[in-house]
Amino acid sequence: MKKNAETMKEVASLCSKYCSCDDCGCKNSTSANASCQNCTHYDAKNVCDIDLYEEIVTNHNL
C-alpha cells in the first residue's frame, strides 16, 4: 500500500474524521495543509489509530 506525502494529503482531504494537530479548528475541506501526518489520529508509529487510512485508500483507488 502506498504511503507517501501525496497519498496522505489525498486521504486527509477525503477523511470525515480528519482533525489537525494545530487546534485551528480546520477540517479536511478547509485546510490547505491537510495530511495524515498532521492529524490527531495519526500516531507515533505512523498509523491511523482509527483505521481509516487503508479504508479510504481502498475505497477511492488511491
Chain segment 2-23, per-residue pLDDT in tens? 688 999 999 999 998 998 876 5
- What does the alpha-carbon distance between residue 17 and residue 4 come to, in Å, rounded to a whole number? 20
- Nine cell digits for residue 2: 502506498
Q: How far is CA 26 from CA 1, 16, 39, 49, 54, in A?
A: 27, 12, 10, 19, 22
Question: Residue 53 in contact with residue 45, Cβ under 8 Å?
Answer: no
**What pLDDT score was predicted for residue 14?**
92
Question: Residue 56 in contact with residue 62, Cβ under 8 Å?
Answer: yes
- Pick the more confident residue, 17 or 27: 17
